[in-house]
Amino acid sequence: MTMQYLICYDIADDARRDDVATLLSGYGPRVQLSVFECDVPSRTVAAELRGKLRALIDPIEDQIRMYPLDDRMARGLVVIGARTIEERQDFWIIT
């Protein structure tokens, strides 16, 4: 039974923020700069994800919120506006 979570974060440090975004990108798309819609296959995997997120942040300076979305809530999603988030691509310029 796949569960969907809306995960929002406010991370003070750039490196920690990048680590959180990288981890969450493996679970679903970034829909805002600090917001992901994540599909988690089970409660066990959700607990593992919470543990990984706890290990990445500073519990005093940072905050992550995980909102579980049931089917009814997910179907009721309303998006206003067409702006999309482009993931930063690391690249090298060789001259």
DSSP output for 7-31:
EEEE-SSHHHHHHHHHHHHTTS-EE
Structure token digits, residue 15? 């490196």
| Domain boundaries 3-75, corresponding CATH code | 3.30.70.240
Placement of tokens 């300076």 in the chain? 61
The model's confidence at residue 13, banded by pLDDT at 50, 70 and 90, is: very high
Residue closest to 62 by CA, chosen among 26, 15, 28? 15
Dihedral in degrees, nearest 10, Cα atoms 63, 67, 68, 72: -170
For 16-69, how does the pLDDT look when each residue is reduced to its tens digit (9 = 90+)?
999 999 999 999 999 999 999 999 999 999 999 999 999 999 999 999 999 999
Amino acid residing at 78 = V
For 61-81, how does the pLDDT look when each residue is reduced to its tens digit (9 = 90+)?
999 999 999 888 778 888 888
Domain residues of the chain, as ranges? 3-75
Q: What is the pLDDT of residue 93?
A: 61
The model's confidence at residue 89, banded by pLDDT at 50, 70 and 90, is: low
